[in-house]
Chains A and B, each alone.
Chain A
Amino acid sequence: MEKLQSLLQHKKDLLSVYFTAGFPHIDSTVKVLKSLEKAGVDFVEIGMPYSDPLADGPVIQNSSTIALQNGMTLKKLFDQLADIQGEVSIPIILMGYLNPVLKFGPEQFVEECQKNNVSGLILPDLPYETYVEEFQELFTSNELSNIFLITPQTPEERIKKLDSASTSFIYMVSSAAVTGARDGLSTQQIEYFERVNAMELNTPRMVGFGISNHETYKNVCQYAHGAIVGSAFIKHLEQSGDDEEGIIQFIETLKTGKSTK
């Protein structure tokens, strides 16, 4: 947790990239992770593939289906992370859905996260109330940060509650939508970012969903600590595979707006 917190404190214009474990091949996880670190990404969110990903659009859904067909499981993911212990230093966050975590066993899950240096967890279908009643103790005592999501519809009162229970960042979903790359920011989105900024929350914010290119990344960084790119990166992997050069190129273009080709 500390590494992540430190990053959020000291650096601006952060870039986090989401990718699905086991996509496009079962052993892509480690390859992609290492390439992203090399490309200068600040931290990563590794998606735990799920049969019914409600918060995801077609691109990430598809990557999940393929990963599951490839045989990806939570156990496999933890094995893959264990294998590269000490080789990767950027913070790792896991993103997924509640049911597989419950089936794995919450205590065992948190233990594996700790053993494998996972800094945080994003579970879009774990409501704040349930987290506080059942998991807060377990997470915080194991240095695992639970990351809450807010949308343009989240009322101020609730945002404040989430702010006090947050230990790393708040995931600002950029608009009412599921994951999926979109072009540009709308005035409503900008109003929403400004509104949340004006609340002067204690917790830094990262904006995700719909961030697809340099322009959106740069724009969003004016209003938050950084951006999370998911579907756009998955699309790249779909088209160009998990080749390191390609990944570095993609991130370069995202960060600078220029390609070095």
Chain B
Amino acid sequence: MLIPNIENLKENYLRIMNSESFRKDFKTLLEDYAGRPSPLYHADRLSDHYGCNIWLKREDLNHTGSHKVNNTIGQILLANEMGKKRIIAETGAGQHGVATATVCALMGLECVVYMGETDIERQAPNVARMKMLGADVRPAISGSRTLKDATNEALRDWIANPLDTFYLIGSVVGPHPYPDMVARLQSVISGEIQWQMRNKTGNSNPDYVVACVGGGSNAAGSFYHFLDEPEVQLIGAEAAGEGLTSGKTAASIAMGETGVIHGSMTNLMQTDDGQITEPYSISAGLDYPGIGPLHAWLAKSGRAKYLAVTDQEALDAALQLTQKEGIIPALESAHALAALNQLDLKSGENVVVTVSGRGDKDMKTYMERLKLT
């Protein structure tokens, strides 16, 4: 039932994205509106701690507070070019929802965001933001009431509204061409890392690029231009939740098997009967039982390694970044920071870690779990 929509998108996206007018508008908005390029910062104290060079790619400094805006700006330009008047999106932590509501306000387009009821409770500041931006935030009340359920509702809406509605997907998931489209839009991250590294170290290739993976968009963007540079080790950090075998996890690479979710064949957490498992992670943005098909491929081919990080490890890493560098990361990004502890880092190595988002939205969780008074 979605084939006509998908075909339409497939036929148009590359042509539009490669056009001069798109490129110009995209670049202008990324720079003048979102605040790009995002800094690549040498974290001195963290570097001392790990005995090598830790470079933080500051996607948390973008307008709306995460990397999500790179994608929403690109897709809204696409939607506009295609004449769509109504935008729908799914959201986990709310960052993509906010970034979508933001660009809809920018372009004057109607915006509906589906969010799991559980996530609405744990990410209240983002919900408020979306509403103020004029979005209609609709709770997904089926299943685990988190990201996968919000995605289901968005897909159902798209089935029911094929003509006027553009589905603005937040990550490198979903039916083709979305995984490719979103990766291309996020590739600005690694494109910048290249020249920033060259300026700062003389070599555009770091030794490692580390990023957290939920659906996988900030990691796809961070890895993109390094995919064919074998000397750059690519590390994804996925959410182990309470532990890989605890039954409360969201680690799709470690615990999933090949399956089909939301129009993609990828690694999927599922039962023996092929039912999709309810995932769990302290971080709403990583709480997805699947993973972008690019990452399933990178894991299978060995090009990238995926490390599992527990809730507690992420919390500890968040506190460490905060107190060593004065940066409060989003819970999702904290997983990437925590992954550093699992790497055999050597003196002189350059390790780029993408801080995908800021932690303002997570203060309630941090206050509770870190027992801050």
A and B interact: yes
Spell out A's residues near B (CB within 8 Å).
50-52, 54-55, 57, 61, 65, 68, 73-75, 97-104, 124-125, 127-128, 149, 151, 153-155, 158, 173, 176-178
Cβ distance A37 to chain B, nearest Cβ, rounded Å: 27
Q: How far is the CA of A97 from the CA of B345 in the complex (A)?
A: 45
Q: Mark B152-166, 1 if CB is under 8 A from A, else 0.
A: 100110011111000
Q: How far is the CA of A78 from the CA of B155 in the complex (A)?
A: 30
Spell out B's residues near A (CB within 8 Å).
1, 3-5, 7, 142-143, 148, 152, 155-156, 159-163, 257-263, 268, 270, 272-276
Q: Does B261 contact A52, Cβ atoms closer than 8 Å? A: yes
Cβ distance B119 to chain A, nearest Cβ, rounded Å: 17
Q: Does A176 contact B260, Cβ atoms closer than 8 Å? A: no
Known: A52-B261, A103-B259, A153-B162. A73 touches B273 (CB 8 A): yes
10 of the cross-chain contacts (CB-CB < 8 Å) are: A51-B275, A55-B156, A99-B268, A99-B276, A100-B273, A101-B274, A102-B274, A103-B270, A158-B3, A178-B159
Known: A55-B159, A61-B142, A177-B160. A99 touches B274 (CB 8 A): yes
Q: Does A102 contact B260, Cβ atoms closer than 8 Å? A: yes
Q: Does B163 contact A100, Cβ atoms closer than 8 Å? A: no
A99's partner among B5, B142, B261 (CB-CB below 8 A) is B261
> Which has the most chain A C-beta neighbours within 10 Å: B4, B163, B263?
B4
Q: Does B260 contact A52, Cβ atoms closer than 8 Å? A: no
Q: How far is the CA of A158 from the CA of B159 in the complex (A)?
A: 17
Cβ distance A14 to chain B, nearest Cβ, rounded Å: 22
Q: How far is the CA of A10 from the CA of B274 in the complex (A)?
A: 38
B160's partner among A68, A75, A98, A178 (CB-CB below 8 A) is A178
Q: Using Cβ atoms and an 8 Å threshold, which residues of chain A touch B259?
A: 99, 102-103
Known: A54-B262, A99-B260, A158-B4. 14 other contacts (CB 8 A): A51-B275, A51-B276, A54-B156, A61-B142, A99-B270, A99-B276, A102-B259, A103-B257, A104-B273, A128-B3, A151-B1, A153-B5, A176-B159, A176-B162
Q: Using Cβ atoms and an 8 Å threshold, which residues of chain A touch B4?
A: 151, 153-155, 158
> Which has the most chain B C-beta neighbours within 10 Å: A99, A104, A124?
A99
Q: Does B272 contact A103, Cβ atoms closer than 8 Å? A: yes
Q: Does A173 contact B261, Cβ atoms closer than 8 Å? A: no
Q: Using Cβ atoms and an 8 Å threshold, which residues of chain A touch B162?
A: 151, 153, 176
